Copies of this chain bind each other. A is one copy, B any other.
């Protein structure tokens, strides 16, 4: 009757790691049905368990969403790391990060929404975002320094990092609006559009900007 712990290698409990199964079911539903269709019951259904089963692994629906969001931040982090590694030059590194950020939001719209929804009602970004040496936030800050920002002006550097993050998030949320379709055409596609907008936002520290 019970499937033999299909995918996962470790099976700590008598069902095969349901916690993991629920998170993956949620992710599956999220991207296929959109964020509004994601109900706890639907997740349980998708995972093949009863509607009450999730409560043995998560305090409530919010806690499941937290777990999903956390994996989202990890994925975003990886996307930024990839973008930074692939940047052809320091001059283009910041814009590259910005574009990668927006593309992540475009390609994972429901996940991105969940990430910020949960952050907003905790009124805090996840700790993993700023803590580690190679957290996403630090990656942006480091890139700014490499691009010429003064690393000794701590407050100013933080402000610049926040500014870059806000710019990326703002553009990520605006990018989908029909109003900007003609602009995208005018500059030759969405990618150019993103770069053009970022260029207007001075992501680079001042000494780097052409004068």
Partner-B contacts on A (CB < 8 A):
116, 119-120, 123-125, 129-130, 155, 158-160, 162-171, 173-174, 176-180, 183, 186-187, 193, 196-198, 200-202, 206, 209, 211
CB pairs A–B below 8 angstroms (15 shown): A125-B179, A130-B179, A155-B186, A159-B193, A159-B196, A159-B200, A166-B167, A166-B174, A166-B197, A167-B201, A168-B170, A169-B174, A170-B170, A170-B173, A209-B209
Main secondary structure of the interface of A (DSSP, over half): helix
Given contacts A171-B170, A187-B155, contact A162 B180 (CB under 8 A): yes
Chain B residues, CB < 8 A from A155 = 183, 186-187
Residue of B nearest to A173 (CB): B169
Tell me the minimal C-beta distance from A131 to chain B in angstroms.
10
Chain B residues, CB < 8 A from A209 = 202, 206, 209, 211
Chain B residues, CB < 8 A from A173 = 116, 120, 166, 169-170, 173
Chain B residues, CB < 8 A from A162 = 174, 180, 183, 197, 200
Tell me the minimal C-beta distance from A34 to chain B in angstroms.
9
Q: CB < 8 Å: which of B165, B206, B211 contacts A174?
A: B165
Tell me the minimal C-beta distance from A20 to chain B in angstroms.
28
Chain B residues, CB < 8 A from A179 = 124-125, 129-130
List 13 additional contacts besides A155-B183, A169-B169; criterion CB under 8 Å.
A123-B178, A129-B179, A158-B183, A159-B187, A160-B200, A162-B180, A163-B200, A163-B201, A164-B200, A167-B167, A169-B170, A169-B173, A170-B173
